């Protein structure tokens, strides 16, 4: 359950940004998780619910965008997206490649913040 | 009406760990110590393999130390200490992986410049250690002949981050109908070009090849300059950035594996 470690850091980071922006609460959190990151989405959501209690993320919606693995194929001289994560070879020409261009992300992409009530109605 | 607004953050969630690990890697390199992070399932034989490694390096006149992580007990540290090397145990009390700050705390009091090799035996787990950089220069995956040749296909994420793989318990290969070619092919499928060393801690097979690999890696490390400015400085796990949307980690180079396979 390393997802709890990850969720705790998401909450920490988002709360810091929320404070820095003088916002009242976090409405939504968007993460980008690569397929090679070994992060299980359901475990992450479960952990997120535990980690956010009593924070400005209390009612935040969690969006998780899964990033497929992209490799560089030296034969095609092009980036290729792999259909899975068990065979690191160009899906077009079959050349083995370990030159990974995307798919390991564990990133906090964006936050949706609700401003303090200084806004006019 | 309060308008929600979108804040583009684009930050690595594990950036604190990544930053500390980079700093540690620079310190290790400056001190001339090669650090190896050992990952495998529970029961692969990490401790037996490491004990033999420590004993043989000491016999060769090298200076070595080890840190070992387990959920509970210091049994492994006591086993490893029989080699004569300084050893410290990290008890994680439930945590399924080691993080850089845990390693840093357990280094206290050791003089890095007196060491040539430091081994970190991670918690036995083929999933959770994947994304935690410990400041190592070499990540070693171990796979025993009793585990099944296709295990790398079941846990591709972790095997993909490794720099070298050791097959262990080769003395049991015949009893397990172990198919070496298939095992090598599955490791290669998830990590093309990786060096694979076939070993037995019991008979000593393959251990000289492993020690020679370590020595060559240490020599390469010592000739990198300035410390920490090249491979070791690249965000290792998740260190992938799409050019059009840079993440706030300035040390990342797109698409490069931090520790090139020899």
Could you list the pLDDT tens digit for every one of the 121 residues in chain A? 799 999 999 999 999 999 999 999 999 999 999 999 999 999 999 999 999 999 999 999 999 999 999 999 999 999 999 999 999 999 999 999 999 999 999 999 999 999 876 545 4
B1: confidence class by pLDDT, cuts 50, 70, 90: low
More confident residue, B229 or B225: B225
B255 CB neighbours in chain A (<8 A) are 72, 99-101
Mutation site, B240, B241, B249, B252, interface A, largest A CB count within 10 A = B240
Q: Map out the domains of chain A as residue ranges.
A: 3-114
Interface of A with B in 14-73 (CB under 8 A): 14, 17, 21, 23-24, 27-28, 31, 34, 36-39, 72
Distance CA B137, CA B42 (A): 23
Query: What mean pLDDT is reported for chain B?
Result: 88
- Which residues, 6+ apart, have CB-to-CB distance to B234 below 8 Å? B251, B252, B253, B256, B258
Q: Decide if pLDDT at B132 tops 60.
A: yes
Cα–Cα distance measured from residue B22 to residue B25, given in angstroms and rounded to the nearest whole number: 5
Classify residue B94 as exposed, middle or buried by CB count within 10 Å of its CB (0-12, 13-18, 19+). Answer: exposed
User: Is A97 close to B99, i.e. CB distance below 8 A?
Assistant: no
Cβ–Cβ below 8 Å for A98 and B13: no
* CB-based contacts of B171, cutoff 8 Å, min separation 6: B200, B202, B203, B205
Residue A118 is predicted with a pLDDT of 56
Would you call A106 and B7 a contact, using CB atoms and an 8 Å cutoff? no
Separation between Cα atoms, residue B200 and residue B181, nearest integer Å: 17
CATH number of A3-114: 3.30.2320.80
What's the pLDDT at A8? 96
| Architecture of the B15-233 domain | 3-Layer(aba) Sandwich (3.40)
ω into A55 cis (within 30 of 0): no
Q: How many CB pairs under 8 A join A and B?
A: 143
Are B138 and B164 a contacting pair, CB within 8 Å? yes
Report the 10 Å Cβ neighbour count for B73.
10
Give the β-pairing of A61-67 and A23-34: parallel
Give contacts of B 151-180 with A, CB under 8 A.
153, 156-158, 160
Whether B5 and B88 have beta carbons less than 8 Å apart is answered as: no
Per-residue pLDDT band for B223 (boundaries 50, 70, 90) equals confident
pLDDT of residue B224: 78
Residue B36 CB coordination number (10 Å): 22
Kindly tell me if the per-residue pLDDT of B228 is higher than 70. Answer: no
Is the pLDDT at B180 greater than 60? The verdict is yes
Lowest mean pLDDT among A107-121, B147-161, B171-185, B208-222: A107-121
State the burial class of residue B256 (Cβ atoms within 10 Å of its Cβ: 0-12, 13-18, 19+).
middle
Asked if pLDDT for residue B255 goes beyond 90, the answer is: no
Contact state of A36 with B14 under an 8 Å Cβ cutoff? no
| Residues of chain A with C-beta less than 8 angstroms from the C-beta of B156 | 36, 85-86
For residue A93, the SS3 value is coil
Indicate if the pLDDT at residue B130 is higher than 70: yes
For residue A35, what is the DSSP state? G
pLDDT at B251: 36
Binary contact (B237, A104; C-beta < 8 A): yes
Asked whether B195 and B213 are in contact (CB, 8 A), the reply is: yes
Asked if A36 lies within 8 A of B156 by C-beta distance, the reply is yes
Taking the C-alpha atoms of residue B46 and residue B40, their distance in angstroms, rounded to an integer, is 7
Burial grade of A54 (CB within 10 A; 0-12, 13-18, 19 or more): exposed
Bridge partners of B37, per DSSP, are: B120, B139
Show the CA angle centred on residue A114, arms to residues A108 and A120, nearest 5°.
150
State the average pLDDT over residues B17-21. 97
Which of A8, A68, A107 to probe the B interface (max B CBs under 10 A)? Answer: A107
Q: Are B99 and A13 within 8 A, CB to CB? A: no
Question: How confident is residue B226, by pLDDT bands cut at 50, 70 and 90?
Answer: low
B236, pLDDT greater than 50: no
The dihedral region occupied by B6, where left means phi > 0, alpha psi between -120 and 50, and beta the remainder, is beta
Distance from CA of A95 to the nearest CA of B (A): 10
């Amino acid at each position: 359950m390393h997802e709890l470690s990850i969720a705790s850091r998401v909450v920490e980071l988002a709360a810091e940004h929320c404070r820095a922006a003088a916002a009242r609460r976090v409405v939504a959190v968007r993460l980008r998780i690569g397929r090679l990151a070994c992060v299980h989405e359901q475990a992450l959501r479960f952990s997120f619910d535990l980690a956010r209690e009593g924070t400005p993320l209390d009612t935040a919606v969690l969006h998780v965008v899964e990033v497929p693995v992209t490799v560089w194929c030296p034969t095609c001289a092009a980036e290729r997206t792999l259909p899975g994560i068990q065979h690191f070879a160009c899906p077009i020409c079959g050349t083995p490649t370990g030159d990974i261009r995307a798919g390991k992300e564990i990133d906090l992409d964006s936050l949706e913040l609700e401003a303090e009530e200084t806004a006019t109605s | 009406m309060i308008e929600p607004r979108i804040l583009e953050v684009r930050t690595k969630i594990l950036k604190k760990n990544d930053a500390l690990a980079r700093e540690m890697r620079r310190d290790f390199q400056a001190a001339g110590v090669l650090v190896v992070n050992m990952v495998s399932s529970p029961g692969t034989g990490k401790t037996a393999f490491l004990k033999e490694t420590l004993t043989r390096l000491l016999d060769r006149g090298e200076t070595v130390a080890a840190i070992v992580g387990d959920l509970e007990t210091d049994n492994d540290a006591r086993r490893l200490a029989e080699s004569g090397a300084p050893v410290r145990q990290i008890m994680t009390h439930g945590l399924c992986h080691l993080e850089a700050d845990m390693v840093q705390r357990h280094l206290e009091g050791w003089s890095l410049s007196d060491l040539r090799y430091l081994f970190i035996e991670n918690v036995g787990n083929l999933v959770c250690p994947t994304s935690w950089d410990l400041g190592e220069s070499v990540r070693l995956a171990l796979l025993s002949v009793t585990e099944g040749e296709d295990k790398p296909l079941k846990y591709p994420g972790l095997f993909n981050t490794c720099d070298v793989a050791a097959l262990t318990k080769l003395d049991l290969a015949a009893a397990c109908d172990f198919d070496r070619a298939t095992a090598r092919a599955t490791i290669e499928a998830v990590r093309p070009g990786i060096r694979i060393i076939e070993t037995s801690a019991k008979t000593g097979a393959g251990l000289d090849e492993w020690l020679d690999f370590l020595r060559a890696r240490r020599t390469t490390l010592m000739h990198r300059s300035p410390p920490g400015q090249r491979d070791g400085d690249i965000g290792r796990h998740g260190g992938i950035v799409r050019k059009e949307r840079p993440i706030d980690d300035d040390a990342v180079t797109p698409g490069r594996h931090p520790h090139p396979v020899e």
